[in-house]
Copies of this chain bind each other. A is one copy, B any other.
Amino acid sequence: MSIKQIGFADTELTGGFLSHIEKLNKDVTIGAVYDRFNETGRVKAFSCTWKEGEPNRPHIFWDSDVAKWIEGASYVLAKHPDEDLTAKIESVIDDIEKNQWDDGYVNSYYTTIEPQNRFTVRGNHELYCCGHLIEAAVAYYEATGRDRFLKIMMKYADLVDRIFRVEKSAAFQTPGHEEIEIALFRLYRCTKLEKYLTLAKFFVDMRGSNELDKPIAGGIYGLYQQDVPPREAREAVGHSVRACYFYASMADYALETGDEEIAESCRQIWNDIATSKMYISGGIGSTCYGEAFTVPYDLPPESAYTETCAGIALIYFSQRMFLLEKDAKYADVIERLLYNGVISGLSISGDCFFYENPLEINLRNHYKIKATSNQIRLPITQRVKVFGCSCCPPNLNRLLASVGDYLYAADGDEIYVNQFAKSSAKANGIEIRTETDYPFSGRVSISAPGASKIHVRIPGWCTGFTASGQYTVENGYAVFFSDSATVDFDIPVSIVSSDSRVWDNSGKVAVIRGPVVYCAEGADNNAVDFHMLSLSPASAKDAAVLQAGPSGLPEIEIDACMKLPANGGKLYYPAERSEYAPFKLHMIPYYSFANRGEDDMLVWFNER
């Protein structure tokens, strides 16, 4: 037997932060995203009735937006049958069915606007849309048992197989924007049909190994994962969403075939990300130019791109790596993203979104830059309801509706506990139950009667814990040879530093508590200029952990030191004459920044 995640369908979140965001998505976000997509013509686009001169001209990536929403809605339906939601999905499927070409082709943009040009422009997201529609179809089938959509997409997948793999008659060989690869692995797992595995492997193997595919524009960091064939890839490069979708499919490849070359590439790429290209929030893709990875240790906080979708894609990649390696470090990154850099993409109200997730807002600098140049781009400072390129909102829909996927895994009668939340789950005849108020406290009690071992992840942030009973430590897990375990992770306020090679964080520290990264906002701090403040690692021990605010997670008060403006207005003066005053710094969970209007925000403070 091999290890399998225990999916969200078999996992019940019954309390805590992960349950809160799962519920917020179900109750608010799913509906909000649908409404915006309906208003902007994305839903109607599937009817393929748009005419020149009408508003809401269909766009090449709209199919993928709605597909991700259907995927998320399907996960909701799997546990919460809902006629209205079902009707909305069925209506889209009606349109898709009506407009599917005889040979199987499905694409609302090409069908409506330029049918003669299908499969000619690699950069036009055609296979990406196909991939998301396949994922939606599988999700809807698995949630409801209804196979109409699945069959439509199988027919389309068969066409893609013929055009791209058999006939090689398209103008390109592999997708400009990857996604179809993970979708095909998923279609294979759902249908057990080898042809989809073959096609999935084909797209992975061909990437960077064929004559037909020219580089897509995007500068040298926009290579789009085709600078080298995947078996030779060692670094994360290019557009970070495309990259992590592709790397996730490489991990699928290794999982499905045992291919050790591909597995080794995955390990190296993942390590490259986690040790040199990931923000403390878990966010990735530090430049807006090409939405891309850049060079190691390049993690500017204010201009951080860190697209919400890229964080989600890294969760997908990391989960597959966990299944491949059974190492807790992969679940650490998932936790980092779920509590910080992915959920920051969603407002506390559940209906507004960030595409970019900066780690600093300095309004003076922001407005200076906006005033001096329209060529330098900084992230927006307030979440919005919908974007022109609105990939992130429905990506949150599908991630949050299936957040239960990340708690548990089972390898026969051995249970892995990766994320900690009050919950229950079942797999292989074993009923698992976790009691905890994590991350308010670090105490986690797990019972899994019948289990031979329980592997409890020791979080990467954790520097000490106690446990009841005997355990050994393996691959970052405390392994209990027992069917129950109670672990008490020390969860103090902690001041962390970056690897000294991260030049933008040099001389700076951040505040965390457990998995939660903290930030400060002007609103809580008399609009102080945060650059005047410094934090000492020693101050952590006296920090006060306050009640949860609107974020649902504890807030923090910590002693900081404020450097006063120079006496007499001297711009430069002997450093030993600097004057300081104490300052009580109020901090909130990073993810909840920018929920109270435009404000300064800072994660990395000067160390002193």
Q: What 1/0 mask marks residues of chain A from 217 to 233 whose CB sits below 8 Å from any chain B CB?
A: 00111000000000000
Asked whether B373 lies within 8 Å of A289 as measured between CB atoms, the reply is yes
- Tell me the number of copies of this protein: 2
User: Given the interface contacts A364-B503, A532-B506, does A275 sit within 8 Å of B576 by beta carbon?
Assistant: no
Say yes or no: is A371 at the interface (Cβ < 8 Å to chain B). yes
Q: Determine, out of A17-25, A126-134, A291-299, the stretch whose residues face the partner at the interface.
A: A291-299
How long is the Cα–Cα vector from A2 to B86 in the complex, in angstroms?
91
Say yes or no: is A9 at the interface (Cβ < 8 Å to chain B). no
How long is the Cα–Cα vector from A376 to B289 in the complex, in angstroms?
10
Q: What 1/0 mask marks residues of chain A from 545 to 587 whose CB sits below 8 Å from any chain B CB?
A: 0000000000000000011111001111111111000000000
Minimum CB distance partner of A292 in chain B: B372
Asked whether A298 lies within 8 Å of B365 as measured between CB atoms, the reply is yes
User: Given the interface contacts A287-B372, A368-B298, does A574 sit within 8 Å of B503 by beta carbon?
Assistant: no
Partner pick for A362 among B289, B503, B537, B571, CB 8 A cutoff: B503
How many positions in chain A have a CB within 8 Å of any CB in the partner chain? Answer: 66
Minimum distance in angstroms from A535 CB to a CB of chain B: 9
Query: A565, A570, A606: which has the most chain B beta carbons within 10 Å?
Result: A570
Minimum distance in angstroms from A570 CB to a CB of chain B: 7
A60-102 interface (Cβ within 8 A of B): none
Say yes or no: is A276 at the interface (Cβ < 8 Å to chain B). yes
Asked whether B507 lies within 8 Å of A508 as measured between CB atoms, the reply is yes
Minimum distance in angstroms from A143 CB to a CB of chain B: 37
Say yes or no: is A344 at the interface (Cβ < 8 Å to chain B). no
How long is the Cα–Cα vector from A569 to B275 in the complex, in angstroms?
6
Q: What 1/0 mask marks residues of chain A from 494 to 511 whose CB sits below 8 Å from any chain B CB?
A: 111111111100111110
Chain B residues with CB under 8 A of A571:
274-276, 278, 280, 498-499, 502
Query: A276, A365, A562: which has the most chain B beta carbons within 10 Å?
Result: A365
How long is the Cα–Cα vector from A368 to B276 in the complex, in angstroms?
15
Say yes or no: is A608 at the interface (Cβ < 8 Å to chain B). yes
Asked whether A500 lies within 8 Å of B565 as measured between CB atoms, the reply is yes
Asked whether B372 lies within 8 Å of A290 as measured between CB atoms, the reply is yes
Say yes or no: is A463 at the interface (Cβ < 8 Å to chain B). yes
Say yes or no: is A534 at the interface (Cβ < 8 Å to chain B). yes
Minimum CB distance partner of A222 in chain B: B372
Q: What 9 A-B pairs have minimum CB-CB distances, sorted nearest first?
A: A507-B606, A506-B531, A289-B372, A500-B563, A497-B575, A503-B531, A537-B575, A375-B375, A289-B373
